[in-house]
Each structure stands twice: as C-alpha cells, then as structure tokens.
Amino acid sequence: MYTYTRRYTGPLQAVIMDLAGTCVDFGSLAPIQAFLKLFEAEGIDLSEAEAREPMGTEKREHIRRLLAMPRIGKQWSSLFGKAPDTADIDRLYGAFLPLQTAAIAERSRLIPGAIELQDWLRDEGIKLGVNTGYSREMVDVMLPELVAQGFEPESVVVATEVPQGRPAPHMSMKNAIELGVSAVQGCVKVDDTTTGIEEGLNAGMWTVAVVASGNAVGLSEEQLSALSDTDRAETLARGHSVMATSAAHYVIDSIADLPKVLAEIGCRLQAGECP
C-alpha cells in the first residue's frame, strides 16, 4: 500500500540510461553510418549534421523527420516527382533495418566508465535500466555483446514497444515500472540527446546530459583523443552549450563523472528537493 506524501525524501532508486552515445558506441556513430548509407542509396545528399538532428527518436520517426527537412524533401521531389509519403517511409525503414543492424554489430563497445558505473550502482543498491530509439531486433544484436563485456542492465526498453517514443515519457516510465520504482522523483535519466533529456523531464525525473561520447560532439573516442588540447576543449565546450539548451539538471563530459553527480542528487533528495 502506498501512502501519499507531499514531498519525496527517499533514496535514489534507479538510473535509466540511453544506449548509443551514452553507455555504448562512443560518438553515437552506428545510426549515423546507417542513415548516410540509406539516403546515399536513394541518390539523396544527406549531411551528417542533418542525420544527427532527430537523434534520440524512434528510427522510423527519425526517417520521417529527415524527409520533412526542406532541403531533403526538395531533393526527393526532384528525383521521384512527388513528396515523400507513408509508403516511402515504410520502404526506407525496411531498407534501414539491415544497415543499422550491421552498424550496431560493429559498434557495440562500451564507453569507458560503464562497468565502473554499474558496479557503483550495485554497491549503492540503485537499479540500472536502459532505453533506446532502436527496435527490439536491433537491441537483440547489441545486448549479447554488452553482456560479454559485463554490462547487464535490469530493464531494457525500446521505442517500438511503447505508445510513443521520445520525447514522450513512456520508455522511462516503463523502465521505472519494470525496475519496481515507487517514485519517479527517485529516478535519474541519462542521455546524450536533447530529445532524450526531454523524455526524462517529461517523466518527472532528474536528468543528466552526457557530452563527450554523444551526439553533441559526434566523434569517436579515437578522433576526440587525436585533437589538440585546445581543439578538444573547444569541441567539448560547444557540446556543453548544445546540451545546456536541453534544460538538463546536470551536464557532464562522461558517464565516468556520473557517480559524483548521483551522490549529489541523493543528498538533494534527502533535503526534500525534487526534479
């Protein structure tokens, strides 16, 4: 039986993380590679910046938003003599699936700090869940690779299994239910896209935006490391500026920085603060 309280002052209960760009696939490159190949095969010039703009959304919706961009839509109409419609989106999504699956298989390496974070959460008695704009078929390719590296979240939710994907709160809410959470105020959503942060805010959770490994920077770990100290600092500063617009409660470089932030959120909860 639950007792209504005006203000939650309990412990931190769960951390819900995005997958690509947050805890796996540094730079969130797998989706970008797949979208660029998909549109190239159609004769459409799609830039990486355009491909990244709807990142965080369910992938069919991502395709719809790309086709809705004026520059892309104009190219499509010129090539096919009509504006893109639902049938075109369905066809492109069907062609996208094997491209994305192949890219995921190549980019399933955990981001540094993921295992240490998981161990810290277990020691603190905090549940770990993940959610993603990928479909179940895509996630089923990735999960065995993550398990082989020692990463085993207690809840995995995909966008195609809830009524609405991001920025709706449905995925995070499903994670919370599966994890047995009693108050969403005791949950933290961690994501590398503004859409994913919106999801967490809409779910009434604390939110933490990740910069270095994510969509706002868009570089592999090797590419980021190869930059000069000055260029790297400037790149990260631009990423922080982008993610600050999401209204996340915290913006950090990496999930390696997350335990310190989570400890601070725990103290704020005990003091009676809510997201």
Res. 1: pLDDT tops 50: no
Pick from 190, 187, 238: nearest CA to 216: 238
Whole-angstrom distance, CA of residue 54 vs CA of residue 215: 10
Res. 189: pLDDT tops 60: yes
Range scoring the smallest mean pLDDT among 1-5, 200-204, 239-243, 266-270: 1-5
Q: What is the pLDDT of residues 19-54, one digit of tens each?
A: 999 999 999 999 999 999 999 999 999 999 999 999
Sequence spans of domains, the chain: 14-28+108-270, 30-106
Are 161 and 124 in contact, with CB atoms under 8 Å apart?
Answer: no
Give me the pLDDT at residue 112, please: 96
**Which alpha helices (DSSP H) does the chain contain, by range?**
29-41, 48-52, 59-68, 70-80, 86-106, 114-124, 136-148, 170-178, 194-202, 221-226, 229-244, 258-270
Give me the pLDDT at residue 4, please: 53
Pick from 206, 219, 211: nearest CA to 247: 206
Q: Quote the tokens at residue 28.
A: 């969130």
Are 226 and 232 in contact, with CB atoms under 8 Å apart?
Answer: no
Res. 3: pLDDT tops 80: no
Just give the CATH number of 30-106: 1.10.150.240
| CA dihedral for 71, 53, 169, 96, sign (positive or negative) | positive
Res. 229: pLDDT tops 60: yes
Range scoring the smallest mean pLDDT among 5-9, 154-158, 227-231: 5-9
User: What are the residues facing 129 on neighbouring strands?
Assistant: 16, 155
Q: What is the pLDDT of residues 54-100, one digit of tens each?
A: 988 889 999 999 999 999 999 999 999 999 999 999 999 999 999 99
Q: What is the pLDDT of residues 110-124, one digit of tens each?
A: 999 999 999 999 999
Are 195 and 214 in contact, with CB atoms under 8 Å apart?
Answer: no
Whole-angstrom distance, CA of residue 218 vs CA of residue 108: 16
- Active site amino acids: 18, 59
Just give the CATH number of 14-28+108-270: 3.40.50.1000
Q: What is the pLDDT of residues 120-171, one digit of tens each?
A: 999 999 999 999 999 899 899 999 999 999 999 999 999 999 999 999 999 9
**Does the fold of domain 30-106 match that of domain 14-28+108-270?**
no
Share above pLDDT 90 across residues of the chain, in percent, rounded to a whole number: 92
89: left (phi over 0), alpha (psi -120 to 50) or beta: alpha
Q: Quote the tokens at residue 1.
A: 């039986």
Res. 101: pLDDT tops 60: yes
Res. 243: pLDDT tops 60: yes
Q: Quote the tokens at residue 256.
A: 């390696």
